[in-house]
Structure 1
Amino acid sequence: MSKDGSTLEAPPAYAGISPAVSAPPLSNEDVPKLDDMNVKSEGNQKEEIIVITSTTHLKHKSTNVICPYCLTNVKTKIKHKSNSKTHLYGFLLCLIGGIICCTIPYCLPQCQTTNHYCPNCKTFLGCYPAAP
């Protein structure tokens, strides 16, 4: 019912468009169990599945971490990359202090995003955003 008391009707169907069809719901029987999967093991040994989660907080500086891909303890390789805040700070400094001052944010790592990489496998591990 609408505010004035009249009943609302469904909008007219569009020509040439078929109604959406949804997939049937999955039940617990449809999901394969670990026991049903072909897991190779020797004798009575059970294989373990290890999930590595990272709680390391990356910073502007290189950080010691265990790489989740190559599983080695490494000191991250960092690369600083300009972002929209860097460009905004440069523009504002150009308006305030002239053309010379606009290069300051590009020289300060605190105004840029710091990307961390594993030096062994070269995998991206995460980033530390620029200061607000």
Structure 2
Amino acid sequence: MPNSKNPYQPNMQLDGWSPPQHQQQQPIQQQRQQPEPMVIVTQPQGIQYAPVGPNSMRMQCPSCRADIKTRVKHKATSNTHCWACGLCICLCWPCVCLPYCMDSCQNANHYCPNCNAFIGTYQS
């Protein structure tokens, strides 16, 4: 079997016999494992908001520590929109704007008048 791939048998080429071809083994390189950078994730401690009501109230601001009377901004919620849709479906479309004019149908967001920090929400 002159055409076999055995490296110890003569290789028949044009000029006759050639020495067996050996594959050089590559030295095994030890890969240094780089330590992965440590990622530390910290979560803020639970921010505790003061209990607030539907109206402005006196308290100490948790942010600037000033004694204040909170500034209240009312904001429409999905509950407000549901009431408006319900009035529209009941054919009371002239009253659709009523939930948007009533503070009791909206959330009351309390802010500090000094530093404008958010203090809390009263959900109606």
Superposed pair shares fold, TM > 0.5: yes
The answer on 1:82 being equivalent to 2:76 is yes
Q: TM-score when scaled to structure 2?
A: 0.59
Match of 1:46 in 2: none
* Larger relative strand fraction: 2
Equivalent positions of 1:1-132 (< 5 A) are: 56-130=50-124
**Where in structure 1 do 4 or more consecutive aligned residues deviate above 3 Å?**
none
Which range moves more in the overlay, 69-78 or 90-99? 90-99
Q: Name the SS for the 1:100 alignment partner.
A: helix
Q: Matched residues, percent identical?
A: 39
Q: 2:58 & 2:90 partners in 1: Cα distance? A: 40
Higher relative contact order (Cα pairs below 8 Å, separated by 6+ residues): 2
Q: Name the SS for the 2:54 alignment partner.
A: coil
Structure 1: unaligned runs, 5 residues or longer: 1-52
RMSD value, Cα: 1.9
Q: 2:91 & 2:59 partners in 1: Cα distance? A: 41
1:101 deviates by 1.1
Match of 2:29 in 1: none
1:86 deviates by 0.1
1:97 deviates by 4.1
Larger radius of gyration: 2
Structure 2: unaligned runs, 5 residues or longer: 1-47
Q: 1:103 & 1:124 partners in 2: Cα distance? A: 28
